[in-house]
Structure 1
């Protein structure tokens, strides 16, 4: 009987070992024909030009893609990025469950996400925010200039609202009055601005450019008021991948490659400070 029990136990242990070995092999990273590790990259199908959009053949293009291609070159064949489109929140769930290795799409830092994911360090670019005004308005360039002016309504939450709330908390004597609506329309707000209903609209520059190309209104960027760093978001198991891309990103900043890409896609080097960005020669007018 004792021998039979020992034999059964050995069989169970052997089966468990086989199952664990199978699981281990399933977790192994796929490699390309050249031997590069294939990295699954989640792209948002809610495109955001010029950071990310698709060309007429439905291929991903934009600043994000150019940046990742430069990263691949810097890492000299160690990784090959496999791009997959999906809904943004679904992409983040996919990163957390290791369906994807990382996601890229204009991600800002917040405490909730920092508890769940690894962030790239340093940032790979910036989202510039601006006060949009009519062409004949020259006295609204900063939040301080909104005293006595009417700002277009904003959503109760989100990155833009957080920026304004932070400004108001730090400057209670010069706080900006904010009208809140649940789902503001950027197009309607910009039309209202052009018609004189509002004095300014607070928007990301890239969002303004995209809408302005469609509407062609008599409006402009009055002033860039902030540049918000954007990051890659990684599954927490991908520390080696994160460190490798961090190193490549830092080198791309230092050798001027990312500044060149910023100039290519945004017509300005957003790695410079706000004074530089707001110089007279830099006009973001939806061209």
Structure 2
């Protein structure tokens, strides 16, 4: 009996060891399968306080027009998992340059400089409508010519509005729009209030910064123009070999969302109008 027990013990021990090894292999296989199913993780940086584009809600969660688009794109792309993080604009661009972030969303325009530096999907995610917000005393402004002789709220010296006005002046040197620049960083609400007070006659801004919500909430007496210029907006992707496929996949997903009418629905929800009607 003693010898029998002694013979059974190593057999039982070996069985336990083999069983343990088999379980480990199964767990590893299961883990590998889960990782494969989850797909490659893509880190996407968005501004945390740029309502309605992207902002943090009352529950501490990121939401907004572009954030909700990113979530839907993520659902369509089985080979990827998006990790959407809140990052200030300047830090996001630096992180995109270094590869810390794979993609950024900030309501960005396509430009030659960006095309040389980043990967950009062919399909836009929306549109930035350049409008004029004017004091009611000056009436509706429907063209760039209407801005001539008006006191213009100073744009940032490195922003899209500055580039737009400068482009117009370069094309019309005999009758330019006079304006100053400022990098003080006034909020959109403060700039709208300055127009209503009469400090400035007009403010030129893309309409995807929550202006209408501010005007309605504060009951501001301001006239809003039709779009003077329409700029499609795009996600920017870190320029690397492995991100070329990602860029094509994101573009395909955006096209599907457009064709389904989903992007128009999100535009109505967050902007109060369908920006795609101007494409």
CA deviation string 1:130-151 (max 9, x = no partner): 1001345533222121233222
1:50 is matched with which residue?
52
The unaligned stretches of length 5 or more in structure 2 are 1-31
Residue aligned with 2:37, SS: coil
Which has the larger share of helix?
2
Cα distance in 1, alignment partners of residues 169 and 34 from structure 2: 52
Give the drift of 1:239: 0.6
Give the drift of 1:210: 5.9
| Structure 1 residues 31 and 105, CA gap change in structure 2 (3 angstroms) | farther
CA deviation string 1:4-29 (max 9, x = no partner): xxxxxxxxxxxxxxxxxxxxxxxxxx
The unaligned stretches of length 5 or more in structure 1 are 1-29, 275-287
Matched, 1:72 2:82: no
| Structure 1 residues 155 and 83, CA gap change in structure 2 (3 angstroms) | closer
Residue aligned with 1:57, SS: coil
Matched pairs, number: 244
Cα distance in 2, alignment partners of residues 38 and 243 from structure 1: 15
Residue aligned with 2:225, SS: strand
Q: Is contact 2:40–2:80 with CA below 8 Å preserved after alignment?
A: yes
TM-score (norm 1): 0.75
Higher Cα Rg, which structure: 2
Cα distance in 2, alignment partners of residues 143 and 32 from structure 1: 56
Aligned positions of 1:267-282 closer than 5 A: 267-273=272-278
Further displaced range: 148-157 or 234-243:
148-157
Residue aligned with 2:275, SS: coil
Matched, 1:230 2:233: yes
Cα distance in 2, alignment partners of residues 187 and 258 from structure 1: 27
Residue aligned with 2:156, SS: coil
TM-score (norm 2): 0.77
